[in-house]
Structure 1
């Protein structure tokens, strides 16, 4: 990978240029030539100059060709070369005065677009288009703009939640950077909050805060890293132990006692709940037994009443029978009538 203005960086390559290279090679059999761009992105520091090369294959002069550099749309373009000179009529306004065609190798089919004072808005994909008569080919060139912001400014904001709140801020990053807090042993610390905003030039301003609770950490480090180049800038701050909020002795004792009290309260509540459940069960059992006894008593009383009623009816019938019998003895002629009235089943007559 080629990087201008920032040595020692090795970002991962991209597969798309390789695919386009194969397609353009296939088309060269029809058009008579193909266009090749760099396989890996061109990486340039913000404000530096970027050179985006393209090469005809097989080698041939491109001096009389129509060469156009554009981005998402064919026109307006980033740069247009035709009839041996630059054509400014179709050029995008933001590239006026910042671009030129490097023609040192144009007779061998090699040209490059020079972009001066690279901005964040220049980041992205470019197409270099060659046209010779009715034949045309193009290739893609990827430009990555690297904005390394300022050294992080780290300072204490004050006590918060029993610890110290620390703020880390920095300007001028592109693209959106990564922020990481670490303790003195290199262990990652979780940010309390983080915000990243872009200014008018598209550069990111970063703010990240952290609440340090452990007074024994000594110092903490804020590192901000560019995701494309891997370059980072780091600042650390020392946190003196006396700066941490002091906990009152009664608060410390309470902090140790409260968990024990909570456990005891939970145990007591559970025991009380079990006893309450057992009492409710016992009450329900007694109530059920009482209902059963009342039911048996009612049934017994009803049976007794029925027996007494039947006995009374029998006594009444017996009394009526005896009375009728006495009448029959006194008045023999009426025995048949008496027997009939008392329900007797013997219908034989007795002589008078």
Structure 2
């Protein structure tokens, strides 16, 4: 078993192990944790034990009523019984169930174990040692335990305050420090002690669990002079502070022309927007007018084209009528000599000449009718009456039987 440290060697009994100032706290703890169960109970300090980072911590506990604990198993643990911070059994410490991070750093003060007073010594406490510890006594079938709270206090470096440069019509100031535990509080203040709000704040932990903090402040009032950055430990209330002087010439100055520009710039922007909108409306109206003119021009061109097509059809119709007129005059002359022809000549003339001519006239009639239907809003002709007049000439100038034959053939064609 390792020898206890020099501080523990001076302990000769329970009164020496627990100072008089701790005894009322132990009695208060008894009232909080209840009465003994099956012959004994375990007492621990009612208040947390605060230890600076890197120092040695002593966590005491006591059996009530006083009795020897040398034959008992004493176990100190964090969140579970095994592995434990320290295990004492059969008069010596057992390393088999000990947590790796506590090996070589813990001892059990057993000078007053005959009266049930023991203490756990943790050397060179770390940030990870912060928290609750359970003191567990086991006497065969009876076991009792108590909780001891350990607060590790880490005071970091003095704040380093420096100016970063102009920011938002003021000066940005940065405060940084490291080595704090637990997470510290940062506060800016002026020369009169008035509190100033930080612009931003960030905190991070290193590999040892210690906090590094940075806070920034924008000072816009050039009359403040000094600003102070204070960093405080929330457990012990200890703090460290640093101040910086801000000369008035370092603050950005607002030029008169900038002030005037700030007032006139919105007006100029609104005026520019109005001019742009008016120009856009005029351009849009001009485009609409051009499109309407183009549409009217296209409609006029379409009407002119339709008229030209109608006049072209009319000219073709007139040309065809002239041809038909010449043909009808020729037929008229033949009709005059028709009665003087021999019978065989008249029959041949009737079958080959007249019927072929009327068949040709029927086809021409259909073609002319097609153009008339297309151009009927410009030209008005009655071709049915015209055709009837043509047949009437043949009827009255020819013989009666020849007209009936020609008329029968004509209606077969149409």
- TM-score normalised over the length of structure 2: 0.59
Say which of 189, 192, 202 aligns to 2:198: 189
Moved more, 67-76 or 114-123: 67-76
Verify the 8 A CA contact 1:182 1:189 in the aligned structure 2: no
Give the 3 Å change call, closer, same or farther, for CA 330–205 of structure 1 in structure 2: same
Say which of 82, 94, 104 aligns to 1:96: 104
Question: Residue 69 of structure 1: CA displacement?
Answer: 1.8
Structure 1 equivalent of residue 350 of structure 2: 336
Q: Which blocks of at least 5 consecutive residues in structure 1 are unaligned?
A: 1-20
3-state SS, counterpart of residue 348 of structure 1: helix
Say which of 173, 184, 190 aligns to 1:177: 184
- TM-score normalised over the length of structure 1: 0.67
Considering only CA atoms, is the larger Rg found in Structure 1 or Structure 2?
2
Deviation sequence 1:311-343 (CA, Å, 0-9, x none): 443443333222222232244445735542235
Give the 3 Å change call, closer, same or farther, for CA 305–189 of structure 1 in structure 2: farther
Q: Which blocks of at least 5 consecutive residues in structure 2 are unaligned?
A: 1-32, 360-389, 404-414
Q: How many residues align?
A: 323
Verify the 8 A CA contact 2:199 2:218 in the aligned structure 1: no
Higher relative contact order (Cα pairs below 8 Å, separated by 6+ residues): 1
Give the 3 Å change call, closer, same or farther, for CA 58–287 of structure 1 in structure 2: farther
Cα distance in structure 2, aligned partners of 1:261 and 1:145: 63
Give the 3 Å change call, closer, same or farther, for CA 66–105 of structure 1 in structure 2: closer
Give the 3 Å change call, closer, same or farther, for CA 229–280 of structure 1 in structure 2: farther
Whose strand proportion is higher, 1 or 2? 1
Residue 144 in 1 paired to residue 151 in 2? yes
Structure 1 equivalent of residue 89 of structure 2: 82
Question: Residue 168 of structure 1: CA displacement?
Answer: 1.2
Question: Residue 73 of structure 1: CA displacement?
Answer: 7.0
Give the 3 Å change call, closer, same or farther, for CA 319–179 of structure 1 in structure 2: farther
Structure 2 equivalent of residue 9 of structure 1: none
The 5 Å alignment of 1:52-63 reads 52=59, 62-63=69-70
Give the 3 Å change call, closer, same or farther, for CA 313–220 of structure 1 in structure 2: farther
Question: Residue 173 of structure 1: CA displacement?
Answer: 0.8
Question: Residue 174 of structure 1: CA displacement?
Answer: 0.9
Say which of 110, 126, 138 aligns to 2:133: 126
Indicate the RMSD between aligned Cα atoms, in angstroms.
4.5
Give the 3 Å change call, closer, same or farther, for CA 251–84 of structure 1 in structure 2: same
Residue 279 in 1 paired to residue 286 in 2? yes
Residue 295 in 1 paired to residue 309 in 2? no
The 5 Å alignment of 1:149-228 reads 149-159=156-166, 163-181=170-188, 185-191=194-200, 194=202, 196=204, 198=206, 201-215=208-222, 218-226=225-233
